[in-house]
């Protein structure tokens, strides 16, 4: 990336400030004037956000709501998060928790504490764009690990590390309903990863925004359950996917000694997380609303996942291979057969013209691979909208694959 700006001597690290295709799609979509089915952002739709409850807690305006707060987080919120973790059977302690500005700040703090320029970080391929982006911003050497239907192929890691000639300092994983593949790391691989981290003197950055959204299958114990109190595990969590992304509130759960360092890091960034939003969430959790809300989300997301897979199968048959997530937001599509040669970055403008948005596969890798794959989010749209969106995606794919002439059946400007 060329970051030279005449007259400004930039830091070397700006070479690695790559930006996020996912985040940029928010502005791109906001600027569109025609109707678009939104399969792009990993966000709950407005109808699933308890905004009336939030408004009530906001207007209650508790004392100190507009003050600076403790960097550790609002004590009432830390207490509520701790109680939630206990209900979920996750061993923790308030001394391990640090409230952050979303999951992204948790990732940033984790990489900031661990990575010097050139240090190796193992990431899943594909993985969350901003995870790679954050590691890269600290000039990490990114080492990609392949995945299958049980998540990262941990068995391959020793060979991959040997070939790279460098042991990793951090392993970045999204263990549940991974973004973007929707797959879940098996228990045996989690155990293996804990052993490898020990062997390599490395830290596991366990980024799990979707774990509470399991709507099918059996719970797989988390790293903190398999190895309670292990200082090699940094848990990055967020309310973005279970409450609302615009709140920008999440938390880190990490060894108390590391937490003090994380607090120092946060103090050099933003002093404390947004106080009104911490009060709103603390009030919401105190009322005991979260567990019922999560149960409702699981029902709706299961219905939407089934609808999405049904529509994809009906429209594309064997020309598209899909994953089958047991929770979370995402299905990963691999183009096959008649669509095998379609490049999903090149497809994107046609899809947008037809009125549907998704994220192209290469956005999820450091190496720019997965050109014939894409991510769709089923969480944002009703089953009716999902049907409409898949139909529009089909029209764009047919056009791009040369199966129909450009413009035939296009929805451009229709709505």
Ligand X SMILES: Cc1ncc(COP(=O)(O)O)c(C=O)c1O
54 binds ligand X (CB under 6 A): no
Candidate ranges 24-32, 96-104, 140-148, 218-226; the one touching ligand X (CB under 6 A): 96-104
Helix (H) or strand (E) holding 297: helix 290-316
Q: Which residues, in sequence order, are CB contacts of 357 under 8 Å at separation 6+? A: 25, 29, 36, 37, 38, 39, 40, 348, 351
Cβ nearer to ligand X, comparing 42 with 73: 42
Cβ nearer to ligand X, comparing 210 with 215: 210
Helix (H) or strand (E) holding 111: helix 102-114
Four-residue CA torsion sign, 235, 265, 101, 282? positive
Site string for ligand X, 12-51 (x = CB under 6 A): ------------------------------x---------
Q: Which residues, in sequence order, are CB contacts of 146 under 8 Å at separation 6+? A: 125, 152, 153, 156
Compute the distance between CA of residue 173 and CA of residue 168 in angstroms, rounded to an integer. 13
73 binds ligand X (CB under 6 A): no
Site string for ligand X, 126-165 (x = CB under 6 A): --x-------------------------------------
Site string for ligand X, 104-123 (x = CB under 6 A): x-------------------
E strands, 101-174, in order: 120-125, 141-148, 151-152, 170-173
**Of positions 182, 245, 283, 389, contacts ligand X by CB under 6 A:** 245
Whether the CB-CB separation of 381 and 389 falls below 8 Å is answered with yes
179 binds ligand X (CB under 6 A): yes
For the bound state, the minimum distance from the C-beta of residue 41 to ligand X, rounded and expressed in Å, comes to: 8
Q: How far is CA 271 from CA 101, 156, 235, 372, in A?
A: 10, 41, 21, 43
Helix (H) or strand (E) holding 204: strand 203-207
183 binds ligand X (CB under 6 A): no
**Of positions 77, 109, 174, 312, contacts ligand X by CB under 6 A:** 174
235 binds ligand X (CB under 6 A): no
250 binds ligand X (CB under 6 A): yes
Site string for ligand X, 295-314 (x = CB under 6 A): --------------------
In the three-class reduction of DSSP (H, G, I as helix; E, B as strand; rest coil), residue 143 is classed as strand
Cβ nearer to ligand X, comparing 103 with 360: 103
- The length of the chain in residues reads 415
102 binds ligand X (CB under 6 A): yes
Q: Which residues bind ligand X (CB under 6 A)?
A: 42, 102-104, 128, 174, 179, 207, 209, 238, 240, 245, 250
């Amino acid at each position: 990336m060329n970051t030279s700006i005449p007259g400004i001597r930039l830091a070397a690290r700006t070479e690695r400030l790559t930006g996020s295709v996912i985040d940029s799609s928010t502005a791109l979509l906001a600027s569109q004037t025609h109707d678009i089915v939104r399969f792009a952002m990993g966000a709950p739709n407005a109808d699933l956000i308890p905004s009336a409850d939030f408004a009530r807690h906001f207007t209650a305006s508790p004392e100190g709501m507009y003050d600076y707060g403790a960097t550790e987080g609002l004590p009432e919120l830390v207490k509520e998060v701790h109680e939630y973790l206990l209900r979920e059977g996750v061993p923790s302690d308030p001394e391990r928790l640090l409230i952050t500005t979303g999951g992204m700040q948790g990732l940033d703090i984790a990489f900031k504490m661990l990575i010097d320029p050139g240090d190796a970080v193992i990431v899943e391929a594909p993985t969350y764009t901003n995870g790679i982006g954050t590691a890269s911003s600290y000039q990490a050497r990114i080492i990609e690990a392949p995945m299958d239907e049980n998540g990262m192929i941990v068995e391959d890691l020793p060979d991959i590390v040997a070939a790279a000639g460098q042991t990793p300092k951090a392993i970045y994983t999204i263990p549940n309903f991974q973004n973007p593949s929707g797959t879940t790391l098996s228990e045996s691989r989690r155990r293996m990863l804990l052993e490898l981290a020990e062997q390599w003197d490395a830290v596991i950055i366990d980024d799990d925004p979707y774990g509470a959204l399991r709507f099918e299958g059996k719970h797989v114990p988390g790293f903190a359950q398999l190895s309670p109190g292990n200082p090699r595990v940094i848990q990055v969590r967020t309310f973005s996917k279970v409450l609302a992304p615009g709140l920008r509130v999440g938390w880190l759960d990490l060894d108390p000694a590391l937490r003090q360092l994380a607090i120092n890091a946060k103090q050099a960034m933003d002093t404390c997380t947004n106080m009104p939003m911490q009060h709103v969430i603390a009030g919401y959790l105190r009322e005991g609303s979260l567990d019922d809300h999560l149960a409702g989300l699981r029902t709706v997301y299961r219905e939407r996942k089934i609808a999405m897979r049904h529509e994809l199968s009906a429209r594309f048959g064997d020309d598209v291979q899909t994953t089958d997530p047991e929770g979370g937001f995402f299905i990963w599509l691999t183009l096959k057969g008649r669509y095998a040669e379609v490049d999903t970055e090149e497809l994107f403008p046609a899809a947008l013209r037809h009125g549907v948005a998704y994220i192209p596969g290469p956005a999820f890798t450091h190496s720019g691979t997965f050109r014939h794959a894409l991510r769709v989010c089923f969480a944002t749209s009703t089953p009716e909208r999902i049907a409409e969106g898949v139909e529009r995606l089909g029209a764009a794919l047919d056009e791009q694959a040369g199966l129909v002439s450009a413009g035939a059946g296009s929805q451009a400007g229709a709505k």
